[in-house]
Structure 1
Amino acid sequence: MEDPILEAKRELIQWIKQMDELDDIAELLEIKNRKTSVHQFAEPQTEDAVKDDFDERFAKGMTDEELMRKVYEHIESLPWKEK
C-alpha cells in the first residue's frame, strides 16, 4: 500500500505541470511563501538568546585620559632616530 501523502504530492505535481494560468501559479507561490515564512520566523530563536552587552563593555572601556596616556607611551617607545 502506497503512502497517501506521497500519492497526493504526485497528483499535485501533475496538476501543477499542466497549469498554464499565471494567476493560479502566482496564488500557489503565495501559499508556498506563506508556509515557508512561518518556518523562517520560528527558527532563529537562538539569535535572540545572545545577550547584547555592548553598553556594558563600552562602560568598562578606557577613559579619554587613559587613551591619551597609552598613545603617548606608545609614541615614546618607538625607536626614533635622530638626524
Structure 2
Amino acid sequence: MAAIVYFRKVAETEEVVEYAFGDAPDDFDRRLTVDKASCTSTVQDARIDHTFLKASRKLYALHEERGGWPERGMSVS
C-alpha cells in the first residue's frame, strides 16, 4: 500500500518555518512547524502519526539537499 503526503510552506520567520500538509494535493488540513535552530518539528494538532513523520522527514531531506526550506513538495513510498 502506497503512502503519500503533500506539503506547502505557509509562513517563514528567522526562527521557524510552517507548513500545511495532508494526504491529498488539495487537502492541506494539518500544520507542522519546524524550529530552525534545533531542527525539530511539531504538529499543531499534536497527532504524531505516519503522515506527520513522513512530511517532517521529507522536509529535512530536501532542506539538506537544497540548502533551503522548500516551497512545496510531496513524499511517496
TM-score (norm 2): 0.29
Q: For CA contacts below 8 A with separation 6 or more, give which structure has more relative contact order.
A: 2
When Rg is computed on C-alpha atoms for both structures, the one with the higher figure is: 1
TM-score (norm 1): 0.27
Larger strand share, 1 or 2: 2
Larger helix share, 1 or 2: 1
